[in-house]
Structure 1
Amino acid sequence: MKPGFRTIKTVKTSDIHMRDPFVFTYEKEQKYYLFGTTFADGCGDKDPLFEVYVSTDLAEWTGPYAAFEPPKGFWGVRHYWAPEVFEVDGRFYMFASFKGGIGENRGTGILVADHPAGPYRVHSEGPVTLPGSECLDGTYYEDKEGQRWIVYCHEWTELYDGRIEGLRLTHDLKSSFGEPVTILNAAHMPWIRVFGDPRIEKQGYLTDAPFLYNARNGHLVLLWSSYSKPGCSGDQGLGGYTVATARCVVGRMEGPWTHDDDLLMDRNAGHSSLFRDFGGRLMICTHYPDTPHGQERPLFLPVRETDTGLTL
């Protein structure tokens, strides 16, 4: 693992300031690798980068190491957000969001490494999300027919009613092709509230953090995040950043998709993914709390899978 500019220490999970955490379980080494949004915009003379922590028990972590340091001229100049790592054909691919330079869109690009901790190298030629559009939070999925996909958020700042869409990837994961498949339109959700950012004088229905899971009942399950109204879920949740679930009962990206009535999380926590620990337990990885900013920490909770869905 490659040291970055920050001091490498062994710390508890509660000591790691991180949004959008993602755990890669590496059976070969019996180690967990933790990625997330940490040094997203650089500071002073330091450029933005992606970092990684390593653990054997999900409780204490050593790091941060440098997982990806952008080469000179790299298209992504800021907003280094939400890295996710997947093993495909014996190599390790990082799907991560970047904002381009002046006049360029935000999108998800694909990086590659020979080890889950990196160092990662540029793989795709620019973003592989929808060309000419504001997109983020791309995740990876391979369907039953072997087609590879990127599933991403089409930004509310561009559409007002934010969406989650899928694009087919070439087998080598270098580019996308074809027309996007719309999985959901956030404005149609009964629990969602309008999100606003006064800095850009815009409002809309936000979508974040798609993550796909093949359930044991054959359903293709989608986790995603947005902002909810108070008291809208089964546990009369607080309202705030949350995790919702959608599903395709026939297990196809093209749908049809339905949306679960109850929210999976409604406690000022979100941007979640699923992984299994070395004991085989299904776990959710999320950041908590979402606000106030500066307090976000990774949180790991066991998930129970039933024939009807996922519960914490």
Structure 2
Amino acid sequence: MEKGFRSIKKLKTEEIYIRDPFVFTDHKRKVYYLFGTTFADGCGDREPQFDVFVSSNLEDWEGPYCAFIPPKGFWGVRHYWAPEVFEKDGFYYMFASFKGGIGERRGTGALISSCPAGPYKPHSPGPLTPKEWECLDGTYYCDQEGQKWLVFCHEWTQEYEGKIKAIRLSEDLKQSRGEPVDILNAAEMSWIRKFSDPRIEKSGFLTDAPFMYTTKSGELLMLWSSYSVKDDGDIGSGGYTVAVARSKSGKVEGPWTHGDDLLLDRNAGHSSLFRNMEGKLILCTHYPDTPHGQERPLFLELNELDNGLTLDS
């Protein structure tokens, strides 16, 4: 693992500041790798980068090590957000959000490494999301026919009604193909509230963090996050949430349905899934979402039903 300019420390889970956490379980090495949004815009004379923390038990961690340090001329210059790591054909691919230079949109690109901890190198020549769109939080999914997909958010800052779409990827994961497929329009959700950012004098319906899961019965679920209205959900906080969309056909193309029940409504969100060393399915999320600066990784066990997921009580 690659050491950077910051000190390597031994940390408990609750001591790690991170947003958008993602855990890759290396069953061969018996190690968990924790990625997320940490050093997103650089600081002083240091460029932005992606970090990785390592653990054998999901409680005691060591890091941060450097997972990706951008080479000179790399297309992403800031907004290093939401890295996710997937294995394919003996290589490890990191899909992450980057913002280009002045006049360029944010998008999701792919990096590659021979080791899950990195170091990662550029793989796609630029964003895999449409270059004219403001996008983020792309996640990788391979369907039952072997088609590779990138599922991503089309930002509310450009669209007002934030959307989640999917686009086909080439077999080598370097290019996207064809037109995007619609999955959801956030404004159509009964539980959602508008999100506002006074810095840009805009408000709209936010979409974050799609993540795909196939149920035992073959239905395809998509976890995603936004903000709920007050008095909706289990505590009525009106905070950050985790919702679930469903494709009963098991296909990315849908049709998709959207229930009113939220998987999580506790000022926590941007969730992904992983299996621990014992094979138990775990929800990985950050909590709390606000106030900013307090975010920590949170791991919650899930029950796998024939056609869905519930939190383990």
Which TM-score bucket, shorter chain as reference?
A: over 0.9
Shift in Å at residue 307 of structure 1? 2.8
Matches within 5 A, 1:276-295: 276-295=275-294
Where do 1:123-162 residues align within 5 Å?
Answer: 123-162=123-162
After TM superposition, give the deviation of residue 260 of structure 1 in Å: 2.4
Q: Conserved in 1, the CA contact under 8 Å of 2:189 and 2:260?
A: no
Shift in Å, 1:216: 1.1
Structure 1: distance between partners of 2:9 and 2:256:
44
Written as runs of structure 1 = structure 2, the 5 A alignment for 1:12-51 is: 12-51=12-51
Equivalent position amino acid for 2:262 in 1: L
- Residue 69 (1) aligns with residue 86 (2): no
Deviation at 1:236, TM superposition (A): 4.4
1:192 partnered with 2:192: yes
Matches within 5 A, 1:175-254: 175-233=175-233, 235-254=234-253
Residue matched to 1:92: 92
**Alpha-carbon separation, structure 2, partners of 1:49 and 1:227:** 28
Deviation at 1:232, TM superposition (A): 1.7
CA deviation vs aligned residue, 1:116-148 (integer Å, no higher than 9, x gap): 000000000110012211000000000111110
SS in 1 for 2:32: strand
Alpha-carbon distance between aligned partners in 1 of 2:154 and 2:44, rounded to the nearest angstrom: 31
Cα displacement (A) at 1:308: 4.1
Instruction: Compute the TM-score of the two structures, normalised by the length of structure 2.
Output: 0.98
Question: Contact (CA 8 Å) 2:229, 2:238: kept in 1 or not?
Answer: yes
Matched, 1:59 2:64: no
Supply the distance in 2 between the matched residues of 1:217 and 1:99 (Cα, whole angstroms). 39
The amino acid across from 2:32 in the alignment is Y
2:296 aligns with: 297
1:261 aligns with 2:260: yes
Deviations 1:204-237 (A, max 9, x none): 000000000111121101000000001222x243
Return the letter of the residue paired with 1:121: K
Give the secondary-structure state (helix, strand or coil) at the position aligned to 2:58.
Answer: coil
Give the SS at the match of 1:14.
Answer: helix
| SS of match in other structure, 1:48 | coil
SS at match of 2:95: strand
For residues 163-222 of structure 1, the C-alpha deviation after alignment (integer angstroms, 9 at most, x for no partner) is: 000000000000101010010000000000011100000010000000001111211010
Instruction: Look up the match of 1:118.
Output: 118
SS of 1:263's equivalent in the other structure is coil
Name the aligned partner's letter for residue 13 of structure 2: T
The residue number in structure 1 matching 2:174 is 174
Q: Distance in 1 between matches of 2:240 and 2:102?
A: 30
- Partner amino acid, structure 2, of 1:269: A
Q: What TM-score does the superposition give when structure 1 sets the normalisation length?
A: 0.99
- Distance in 1 (CA, whole Å) between partners of 2:303 and 2:6 is 37
Q: Distance in 2 between matches of 1:185 and 1:229?
A: 17
CA apart distance, 1:249:
1.0
Task: Tell whether the 8 Å contact from 2:148 to 2:169 is kept in structure 1 after alignment.
Answer: yes
Q: Any idea what the Cα deviations from partners look like across 1:231-256, whole Å, max 9, x if unmatched?
A: 222x2432111000011011000000
Q: Distance in 1 between matches of 2:255 and 2:152?
A: 18
Q: Per the alignment, in what secondary structure is the counterpart of residue 223 of structure 2? A: strand
Question: Matched residue of 1:21: which SS?
Answer: strand
Of the structure 1 ranges 36-45 and 301-310, higher mean CA displacement relative to structure 2 is found in 301-310
Q: The residue matched to 1:241 in structure 2 has which SS?
A: coil
Q: For the residues of structure 2 that align with 1:98 and 1:310, how far apart are their CA atoms?
A: 31
2:197, 2:28 → 1: CA distance?
44
Instruction: Give the partner amino acid of 1:282.
Output: L
Measure, in 2, the Cα distance between the counterparts of 1:59 and 1:27.
17
| Alpha-carbon distance in 2 for matches of 1:283, 1:148 | 24
3-state SS, counterpart of residue 227 of structure 1: coil
SS of 2:2's partner is: coil
Shift of 1:29: 0.2
